[in-house]
């Protein structure tokens, strides 16, 4: 409060002017002072110009000091201001109530100015120390957030570079990777997965074919159908991708590894490379599989034309419980309009 002032500001609240005069005379040499003679005026003054500390009487008309303190402590902008009760109410239960409503100290009348000066100085020092610590913690938290953001951006940059490395060996364009990544996020959202998980899917899915860097160009770039021997080699790319992404502490890269390894597995166990079945397939791999298939069906390739969306949707729905888990297909049908928006946004531009 009042960080621009060289001297701390105190708000003195008492309905007796004589008491105010005594406090002002004893404190004005060291502090800037504001005064109020009733609770409502005190609250208004504190809200307009928050002081560094409040000296508060208890016995006042309309609103007593206890209630003033309660209202101060309920206000997020004022609750940190230390309050010292200065009152003629000297019973132990009075002091207990004053501390219970949030005061930091309790001084009974008749007052001793040296004691008031000492108590005020002590609590201001404590208050300033807490405020400095809070500011330091906020600065540290900001630095941690900035560092976390930098690390996240660095990690995503690395992943993007890995994805581009795979693209260099793959006839499919980078737009396929972008569409497939967004499809995966949308499918996860449709399944009501945690937003943090869907964000991980968005950034992990581009790694699904990273293993193709280990497939010979003569196979990867072959314009026509692959023979049986070539298919055996092509089907090694999930294992290669998993090996590239394995043994990483990052949750993102662990999910990317699962996707790379299992995006060609099928719900009925007829997929590859491990022939996993049902829930043995990581959910991330299941989601990426449907996203990959949908994009493959609706995209033109050197060996095929793009399918119409209706035909692709019908094929995926027909594969419910066979290639894909029922819930993922149901999510796919629900979120199809959003996926079509992504398809349009990342559409392949015709070559001139």
Task: Give the confidence band of 249 by pLDDT, cuts at 50, 70, 90.
Answer: confident
Confidence (pLDDT) at 222: 84
Average pLDDT over residues 236-263: 92
Task: Give the confidence band of 158 by pLDDT, cuts at 50, 70, 90.
Answer: low
Share of the chain above pLDDT 90, in %: 70
The pair of structure tokens assigned to 287 is: 């989601």
34 near 10, Cβ under 8 Å? yes
Domain extent listing, the chain: 9-140, 169-345
Q: Which of 153-162, 214-223, 289-298 has the lowest mean pLDDT?
A: 153-162
Task: Give the confidence band of 156 by pLDDT, cuts at 50, 70, 90.
Answer: low
Confidence (pLDDT) at 51: 96
Confidence (pLDDT) at 2: 47
Residue whose structure tokens are 């069906």: 297
Share of the chain above pLDDT 70, in %: 90
Confidence (pLDDT) at 163: 62
Q: What is the DSSP string of 209-249?
A: TGGGGGS-HHHHT-SS---HHHHHHHTTHHHHHHHHH-S--
- Distance, in Å, from the CA atom of 248 to the CA atom of 253, rounded to the nearest integer, reads 6
User: Taking CA 65 as the corner, what is the angle to CA 60 and CA 69, rounded to the nearest 5 degrees?
Assistant: 155
Q: Which residues contact 24 (CB under 8 A, 6 or more apart)?
A: 12, 33, 35
Q: 46: buried, middle or exposed (CB in 10 Å: 19+, 13-18, 0-12)?
A: buried
- Distance, in Å, from the CA atom of 100 to the CA atom of 21, rounded to the nearest integer, reads 28
More confident residue, 136 or 157: 136
Confidence (pLDDT) at 175: 81
Helix (H/G/I), strand (E/B), else coil: 296:
helix
Q: Is the pLDDT of residue 5 over 60?
A: no
- Distance, in Å, from the CA atom of 263 to the CA atom of 208, rounded to the nearest integer, reads 7
Task: Give the confidence band of 308 by pLDDT, cuts at 50, 70, 90.
Answer: very high
Average pLDDT over residues 90-108: 93
Q: Is the pLDDT of residue 253 over 70?
A: yes
Task: Give the confidence band of 172 by pLDDT, cuts at 50, 70, 90.
Answer: low
The architecture in CATH of the region 169-345 reads: Orthogonal Bundle (1.10)
Q: Is the pLDDT of residue 299 over 60?
A: yes
- Distance, in Å, from the CA atom of 267 to the CA atom of 350, rounded to the nearest integer, reads 36
What's the half-sphere exposure (Cβ side, CA atoms, 13 Å) at 225? 2
324 near 281, Cβ under 8 Å? no
In whole numbers, what is the pLDDT of the chain averaged over residues?
90
Residue whose structure tokens are 């906020």: 138
Confidence (pLDDT) at 198: 96
Q: Is the pLDDT of residue 352 over 80?
A: no
pLDDT tens digit string along 201-248? 998 998 898 898 889 988 888 878 889 999 999 999 999 999 988 988
Helix (H/G/I), strand (E/B), else coil: 23:
helix
13 near 36, Cβ under 8 Å? yes
DSSP state of 324: B
Q: Most distant CA pair in the chain: distance in Å?
A: 104
- Distance, in Å, from the CA atom of 271 to the CA atom of 327, rounded to the nearest integer, reads 19
pLDDT tens digit string along 175-201? 888 899 999 999 999 999 999 999 999
Identify which of 219, 159, 151, 208 has the alpha carbon closest to the alpha carbon of residue 179.
208
Task: Give the confidence band of 100 by pLDDT, cuts at 50, 70, 90.
Answer: very high
Confidence (pLDDT) at 346: 86
The pair of structure tokens assigned to 346 is: 């990342």
The CATH H-level superfamily of 9-140 is Response regulator (3.40.50.2300)
Identify which of 198, 166, 183 has the alpha carbon closest to the alpha carbon of residue 293.
183
**Phi first, then psi: what are they for 106, rounded to 5°?**
-145, 115
Long-range Cβ pairs for the range 62-66 (8 Å, 24+) = 62/38, 63/38, 63/39, 64/39, 65/13, 65/39, 65/98, 66/97, 66/98, 66/101
Q: Which residues contact 165 (CB under 8 A, 6 or more apart)?
A: 210, 213
Confidence (pLDDT) at 275: 96
Q: Which of 75-89, 156-170, 245-259 has the lowest mean pLDDT?
A: 156-170
């Amino acid at each position: 409060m009042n960080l621009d002032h060289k001297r701390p500001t105190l708000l003195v609240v008492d309905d007796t002017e004589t008491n105010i005069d005594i406090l002002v005379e004893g404190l004005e040499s060291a502090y800037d002072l504001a005064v109020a003679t009733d609770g409502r005026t005190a609250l208004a003054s504190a809200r307009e110009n928050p002081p560094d500390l409040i000296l508060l009487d208890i016995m006042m008309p309309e609103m007593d000091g206890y209630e003033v303190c309660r209202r101060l402590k309920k206000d997020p902008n004022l609750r940190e201001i230390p309050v010292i009760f200065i009152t003629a109410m000297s019973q132990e239960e009075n002091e207990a109530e004053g501390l219970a409503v949030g005061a930091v100290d309790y001084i009974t009348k008749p007052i001793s100015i040296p004691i008031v000066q000492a108590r005020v100085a002590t609590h201001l020092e404590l208050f300033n120390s807490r405020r400095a610590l809070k500011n330091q913690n906020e600065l540290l938290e900001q630095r941690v957030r900035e560092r976390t953001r930098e690390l996240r951006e660095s990690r995503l940059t690395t992943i993007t570079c890995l994805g581009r490395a795979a693209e260099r060996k793959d006839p499919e364009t980078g737009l396929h990777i972008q569409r497939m990544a967004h499809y995966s996020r949308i499918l996860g959202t449709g399944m009501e997965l945690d937003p943090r998980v869907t964000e991980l899917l968005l950034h992990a899915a581009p790694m699904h074919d990273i293993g193709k860097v280990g497939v010979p160009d003569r196979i990867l770039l072959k314009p026509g159908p692959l023979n049986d021997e070539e298919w055996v080699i092509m089907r090694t790319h999930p294992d290669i991708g998993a090996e590239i992404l394995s043994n990483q502490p990052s949750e993102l890269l662990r999910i990317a590894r699962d996707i790379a390894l299992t995006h060609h597995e099928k719900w009925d166990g007829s997929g590859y490379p491990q022939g996993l079945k049902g829930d043995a397939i990581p959910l991330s791999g299941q989601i990426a599989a449907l996203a990959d298939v949908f994009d493959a069906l609706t995209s033109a390739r050197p060996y095929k034309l793009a399918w119409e969306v209706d035909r692709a949707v019908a094929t995926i729905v027909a594969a419910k419980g066979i290639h894909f888990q029922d819930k993922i297909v149901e999510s796919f049908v629900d979120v199809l309009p959003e996926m079509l928006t992504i398809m349009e946004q990342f559409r392949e531009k015709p070559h001139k």
